[in-house]
Structure 1
Amino acid sequence: MGTFIQAVDGTKIYVEDVGSGQPVVFLHGWPANNNMFEYQKNLLVEEGYRYVGIDYRGYGKSDAPATGYDYKTMASDINEVIEQLKLTNVTLLGFSMGGGIALSYLLQYGDSKVSKLVLAGAAAPVFTQRDGYPYGMTKEEVDALIADTKQDRPSMLKGFGEIFFAKEHPEPLQQWFHGLSIAASSHGTIQSAIALRDEDLRGKLGDIKVDTLIIHGKKDQVCPFEFAEEMQKEIPHARLEVFEESGHGMLLDEQEKFNETLLSYVKGNQTV
């Protein structure tokens, strides 16, 4: 069922809460919503787990205030969901931008409620190129993406979708995925792109103590594979599962492998 959780500033955050048992909390990527995890939700509920999918402020069915799209505020929203739903022993999965938000949550609030972390195509430790970090887009490229969003958001999203996957997918599936992003607020899309451009978690990830699984597509054109290697260096208890045939959207590029890997990890198997 769907429910709304009130954030600290009064923003109503939509949560898809389905099933029972151990909770798996899903944090979506820019600029989609929790429905991008449809095929993981179906699997987990069938296996006896509780799917908790959060629409960030500005996305999906959540309120879209003018402010609050930085990682600190988004992490606060996640904390409110976990606290108000009284979730414990959580497996927290952050995809793309959701990976940065998941890490920010753990750095701010600790891991007392979280037992496992999955970073899937995560936009971390930093999304844009810096001195000593030659990976990802330049800040100028993100600025151009933001300018395109202000001018013609549907066309920007179409172009973004063209680099999202490494494999060809049926047109109806691509249109469905495109529709998830169209549903987002324009200012939320812009403001969180600014956060993606500017947030930097380097040097902090050594404080992540929870067991961590990094899943990353070798052909990722959005968050290059080097991101995964950098995260594995910094996070003490991280191991890396390489998806050789996947781009950024490994959830669909290698859907069966992704689901099997996730389910095995949630169940507690150490070999994935």
Structure 2
Amino acid sequence: MGYYIAVEEKVRIFVEDIDPGQGKPVLFIHGWPLNHKMFEYQFNHFLQMGYRCIAIDLRGFGKSDRSWNGYSYNRLADDIRIVIDTLGLENITLIGFSVGGAISIRYMARHGGHQVSKLALLGAAAPAFTKRAGFPYGLTKAEVNKLIEGTYKDRPKMLVNFGDMLFARYVSDECKAWIHGLGMEAFGHATAMLAISLRDEDLRQDLPTIQVPTIILHGKQEKICPFPLGEAMKAGIQGSKLIPMKYSGHGLFYCEQEKLNAELFQFIGSSI
């Protein structure tokens, strides 16, 4: 079932909500510059297991309204809070991929982990996506600036180049075309604005506020969010568990979908 939830005047968020039998809610937050459809292979798995799968399109992406403003992590975390409260969700497992993982971390810090009982971070762009003082990991700000410039000058080409960095293993041309198509569904301005947030936001102070069981699944062959980001998240989130994805780059949701789904299923069903 798909529907819209208003998060502020003239801004509606699209929500895909499938409940095969009053299952425990699992809320998915997608990455840049994709949308909720990227979780197709996780939906296939968890719906069969009886979980309620809910995924949103961040504002400006997928089917959500094309807002001109509102692409800071704070605003996007507030959008998630409104969706959760509108749906009356409780005891949520929150799953965030890439920038969706970063926004999930900000949600946990800004909203005190409201209604979230477990957190899963998949290739998260955190605690910072770009190198800075005291954090020598990630892309350079100049590299992100090229993505932003490419978004405004030749977005299709930028997405092709970015897609080439996504996978560490062979994927079919059809799979690459699918990912490219998801990126093209976004509002170009939103793509650039969220890239600016990726470039500039810093979550190092957010990590210690997380008080729920947390797993971090991160590709060992990452070219976009290098593996040391996963190690930094583990160090910053008390009691968290880091699970290396040996054969994955950034696209671990596809490259190692069976391992990823199995790890998530065990985590969601565990009592920790």
What TM-score comes out, normalization by structure 2 length? 0.97
Tell me the C-alpha RMSD between the 2 structures: 1.0
State the shift of 1:269 in Å: 6.2
Q: Is there any run of 5+ residues in structure 1 with no aligned partner, and where?
A: none
Identify which of 187, 192, 200 aligns with 1:185.
187
Q: Tell me if the contact between 1:8 and 1:80 (Cα under 8 Å) persists in the aligned partners.
A: no
For 1:269 and 1:162, locate their aligned partners in 2 and report how far apart those are by CA, in whole Å: 39
Tell me the residue number matched to 2:2. Answer: 2
- Structure 1 residues 112 and 144, CA, compared in 2 at 3 Å: closer, same or farther? closer
Q: Is there any run of 5+ residues in structure 2 with no aligned partner, and where?
A: none
Q: Deviations over 1:195-220 (max 9, x none)?
A: 00010011331111111000000001
For 1:10 and 1:208, locate their aligned partners in 2 and report how far apart those are by CA, in whole Å: 32
1:1-272 matches, cutoff 5 A: 1-19=1-19, 20-268=22-270
Structure 1: 4+ residue segments shifted above 4 A: none
Task: Return 149-158 or 261-270, whichever deviates more.
Answer: 261-270
Identity of aligned residues (%): 47
State the shift of 1:87 in Å: 0.3
Q: Tell me if the contact between 1:22 and 1:90 (Cα under 8 Å) persists in the aligned partners.
A: yes
State the shift of 1:250 in Å: 0.6
What TM-score comes out, normalization by structure 1 length? 0.97
For 2:200 and 2:156, locate their aligned partners in 1 and report how far apart those are by CA, in whole Å: 24
Provide the aligned length of Structure 1 versus Structure 2: 270
Q: Deviations over 1:215-261 (max 9, x none)?
A: 00000100000000001111012110110110000111111111111
- Structure 1 residues 41 and 238, CA, compared in 2 at 3 Å: closer, same or farther? same
Give the secondary-structure state (helix, strand or coil) at the position aligned to 1:7.
strand
For 1:136 and 1:256, locate their aligned partners in 2 and report how far apart those are by CA, in whole Å: 27
Q: Counterpart of 2:15 in structure 1: which amino acid?
A: V
Q: Tell me if the contact between 1:32 and 1:60 (Cα under 8 Å) persists in the aligned partners.
A: yes
State the shift of 1:141 in Å: 1.1
